[in-house]
Amino acid sequence: MPVSASDSWTEGTMTRRSPSTADRPVLPLAEVTRLTEDLARQVRERDGVALAGRELRRHAQALMRRVHANAAEPPEVRALAEEAGRLLREPGAEEGAFDALQEYVEARLLWSVTREEPLPLARELGVSSVVYLSGIGDLVGEVRRLALDALSRGEIGRAEGSLRLMEELFHLLLSFDVPRSLLPLKPKQDFARALLERTRSEVVLARVMARARVMARAYPPGVGGAPGRGGERSKRPAARGEAVP
């Protein structure tokens, strides 16, 4: 028997669908239209979040550069906070602009560090714990830069203060055990450890060299009977008739 287009097979048994069922669409046209419009809206929102995130990241990086140059002003920080607040009100902001929000947190934390203020909390910045911890992890590198800048100016005490803050931030990061699927914190912990060890070595070396310079100025070799090389007085042959000391 010939099989028509309305026939179908179910577990080896041929069944015949009614013409009304065969001609009915899987979804009503109105629902297809609604789904299409909803997807288009989500694409627009995603693109808008991505664009706003790029702008926020650029402004956060600019603020950090100005902070390191001692040129940042409070109005700039407030403007950045307002920009981040607008982005955070968008649906899917943290998923679509995670890196930008992380940079924002880092910039706000760095600003507080340089002003010797308590670090703002995650809820004060309006971000999730994941974004906040990620920003904390990257702050270690910015504090290292503060230490190096202090060393370049000969301010060893200030560099040691930055080193202590790096140690505190590192131990704070170690206190969290976060699943990698939620936040890959282990690479940040390892990177912070490496930065801390390098900075500690550089600060210790700077302190030793500073002490050596002080000693060299206090005891110049061969002047006024001061100890010369090897800690001995400089010697010369006594002239005939000259008293030997």
Q: Is residue 9 part of a domain?
A: no
At residue 220, the pLDDT reads 77
Read off the pLDDT of each residue in 40-67 and give the average, rounded to a whole number: 91
pLDDT value at position 184?
92
Most confident stretch, 42-56, 86-100, 116-130: 116-130
Question: Residue 29 falls within a domain, yes or no?
Answer: no
Q: Give dist(CA 28, CA 42) in Å, integer.
A: 21
CB 160, CB 127: distance < 8 Å? no
Average pLDDT, the chain: 86
pTM of the predicted structure, to 2 decimals: 0.75
At residue 7, does pLDDT exceed 80? Answer: no
Distance of CA 244 to the CA centre of its chain: 69
Residue 13 φ/ψ, nearest 5 degrees: -110, 125
Whether residue 152 sits in one domain with residue 186: yes
pLDDT in tens, 93-124: 998 999 999 999 999 999 999 999 999 999 99
Domain boundary pick from 100, 121, 142 = 121
User: Please, which residues have CB within 8 angstroms of residue 225's CB and are 6 or more apart in sequence?
Assistant: 233
Where residue 143 sits, what CATH number does that domain have? 1.20.58.2140
Residue 45, C-beta contacts closer than 8 angstroms, at least 6 positions apart: 90, 91, 92
Which stretch of 67-71, 74-78, 119-123, 231-235 has the lowest confidence by average pLDDT?
231-235
98: nearest Cα among 56, 140, 63, 62: 56
Are 130 and 105 within 8 A, CB to CB? no
Specify whether 144 is located in the same domain as 201: yes
- 153: number of Cβ within 10 Å: 9
On whether both 137 and 208 belong to a single domain, the answer is: yes
How many structural domains compose the chain?
A: 2
Mean per-residue pLDDT for 60-72?
A: 95
- Whether 74 maps to a domain, the answer reads yes
* Three-state DSSP class for residue 221: coil
Contact criterion met (CB below 8 Å) for 195 and 140? yes
Q: Which two tokens stand for residue 186?
A: 């282990």
Given a cut of 50, is residue 245 above it in pLDDT?
Answer: no
What is the extent of the structural domain holding 200?
Answer: 128-216
User: Where residue 222 falls among pLDDT bands split at 50, 70, 90?
Assistant: low
The length of the chain in residues reads 245
